């Protein structure tokens, strides 16, 4: 098995998907604007080092607490069609199609919430989509993160767990990411690439996607 691993935010999409999701909901239901101060505070507290990423995301998504999953899923479907698909880079989709044709197993792995990231599975021809997971209790979204934020070393752990027992040729596998935060994954494959990376002296080859 040869893998083609793709980060999502700023790798396959031109914007951060969680912010886009919130903006989509605000346009649909302006009452969600009242959550904006808390959402902004979550980012500020994280930047100041006062809370960790897990707490940041739980705080940001607090406005969805107790929402029936049936309703949340419907909102995510609408978000996919109206906002998420238009954010995708055409070049990224072409690379996915190219590698899919060559027999690669396509895996999307993102720190963004799994409840909407998984909606990209069909449009991206993905065999597996992994995001940050959140608990569901009695059919309702709790807003509590399940496990760890799917970032950095956690992406490697999730990948190894998902593919346990599979014969994977990592030397012939690809990883595409916009950020060095994904180096734990970039360094385990033989074909790592950075996307739209503009810092000097990049450690890995850079591709520019539009």
- pLDDT tens digits along 49-66: 888 888 999 999 999 999
- Cα 181 to its chain centre, rounded Å, is 13
- Report the distance separating Cα 114 and Cα 162, nearest Å: 15
pLDDT of residue 97: 98
pLDDT surpassing 90 at residue 42: no
Task: Give the range among 29-38, 99-108, 138-147, 161-170 with minimum mean pLDDT.
Answer: 29-38
Would you say 176 and 7 are in contact if contact means Cβ atoms under 8 Å apart?
yes
In this prediction the pTM is 0.95
pLDDT of residue 44: 84
Residue 192, class by beta-carbon neighbours within 10 Å (0-12 exposed, 13-18 middle, 19+ buried)?
buried
Q: How far is CA 82 from CA 3, 15, 24, in A?
A: 29, 14, 9
pLDDT, tens digit, for every residue of 143-158? Answer: 999 999 999 999 999 9
pLDDT surpassing 90 at residue 43: no
pLDDT of residue 52: 86
Q: How many domains does the chain have?
A: 1
pLDDT surpassing 90 at residue 208: yes
Helix, strand or coil for residue 148? coil
Q: Give the CATH number of the domain where residue 157 resides.
A: 3.40.50.1000
Longest Cα–Cα distance of the chain, Å, equals 50
Containing structural domain, residue 60: 3-207
pLDDT of residue 49: 83
The phi, psi pair for 103, rounded to 5°, reads 95, 10
pLDDT of residue 119: 97
pLDDT, tens digit, for every residue of 79-100? Answer: 999 999 999 999 999 999 999 9
With a pLDDT cut of 70, the percent of the chain lying above it is: 100
């Amino acid at each position: 098995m040869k893998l083609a691993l793709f980060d999502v935010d700023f790798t396959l999409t031109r914007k951060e998907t969680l912010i886009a999701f919130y903006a989509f909901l605000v346009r649909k239901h302006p009452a969600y604007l009242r959550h904006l101060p808390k959402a902004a505070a979550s980012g500020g507290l994280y930047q100041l080092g006062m809370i960790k990423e897990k707490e940041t995301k739980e705080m940001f998504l607090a406005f969805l607490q107790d929402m029936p999953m049936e309703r949340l899923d419907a909102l995510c479907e609408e978000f996919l069609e109206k906002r998420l698909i238009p954010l995708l880079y055409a070049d990224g989709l072409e690379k996915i199609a190219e590698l899919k044709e060559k027999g690669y197993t396509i895996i999307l792995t993102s720190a963004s919430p799994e409840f909407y990231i998984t909606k990209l599975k069909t449009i991206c021809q993905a065999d597996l989509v992994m995001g940050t997971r959140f608990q569901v209790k009695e059919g309702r979204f709790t807003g509590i993160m399940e496990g760890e934020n799917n970032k950095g070393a956690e992406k490697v752990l999730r990948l190894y767990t998902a593919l346990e027992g599979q014969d994977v040729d990592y030397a012939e596998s690809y990883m595409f990411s916009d950020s060095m935060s994904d180096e734990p994954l970039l360094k385990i494959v033989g074909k790592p690439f950075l996307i739209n990376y503009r810092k000097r002296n990049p450690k890995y080859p850079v591709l520019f996607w539009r």
